[in-house]
Chain A
Amino acid sequence: ELKVEQNPLFLSMQEGKNYTIYCNYSTTSDRLYWYRQDPGKSLESLFVLLSNGAVKQEGRLMASLDTKARLSTLHITAAVHDLSATYFCAGRMDSSYKLIFGSGTRLLVRP
């Protein structure tokens, strides 16, 4: 059974700093998803990583996938307040359309 763990669960960082959120998963997952959720809102898809070594970037966020290490990272560059949100990663078990979500990382970017 696939389990997905994120760390840290809470991250408070200053504007302008860099940081990385880690997503580890327990068994084979052929793709990895990152979502963003603003307080009181729904989940918005950020990245879909389809293969080992995949890297995707959007603005100050960059996601990567290492299937051998069963690890995905979400790197934040020069954080700004607008990035404050909760970030979820999710894995997919082979041959399934179900996603298994991590507990989420609540990111707070301070001025």
Chain B
Amino acid sequence: DAEITQSPRHKITETGRQVTLACHQTWNHNNMFWYRQDLGHGLRLIHYSYGVQDTNKGEVSDGYSVSRSNTEDLPLTLESAASSQTSVYFCASSGGTSLNNEQFFGPGTRLTVL
């Protein structure tokens, strides 16, 4: 069955370190998204991609970067982790040709920055 996976599921790091969160989907979806979820803020879009070599900034992109070298993966990098980036991170994907444009979510990564 097609799925979307994230790794690691839990990560503790220190302020100033570079951290990369992995997202891998086997839906063969063109569109991939990274969100962060914090209490009181719902889900906020960090970066998104509509295909290989395409990346775009979302509403809270400062301090984050992504790259898309293939269809399946969209890793999210925190260049220099800050305590404000402690959050739960969700990756999602959707098929551009689907009428529904429904997004499917990964299991999430809980990141703690000390």
Contacts and interface: CB of A to CB of B under 8 A. Distances in A.
A42 interface: yes
Contacts, number: 48
A43 B101 contact: no
A98 B48 contact: yes
Query: Which of under 10, 10 to 19, 20 to 34, or 35 or more describes the interface residues of B?
Result: 20 to 34
B42 A101 contact: yes
Interface in A63-104: 88, 92, 97-99, 101-104
Interface residues of A, number: 19
Interface in A6-55: 31, 33, 35, 41-45, 48, 50
A103 B40 contact: yes
Given A50-B99, A92-B101, A103-B40, A98 B106 contact: no
A102 B42 contact: yes
Contact of B90 (A42, A92, A104): A42
B45 interface: yes
A88 B43 contact: yes
A33 B42 contact: no
Interface of A: 31, 33, 35, 41-45, 48, 50, 88, 92, 97-99, 101-104
18 contacts: A31-B100, A33-B102, A35-B105, A41-B107, A41-B108, A42-B90, A42-B106, A43-B90, A44-B105, A45-B102, A45-B104, A48-B100, A48-B101, A48-B102, A88-B43, A101-B35, A102-B42, A103-B40
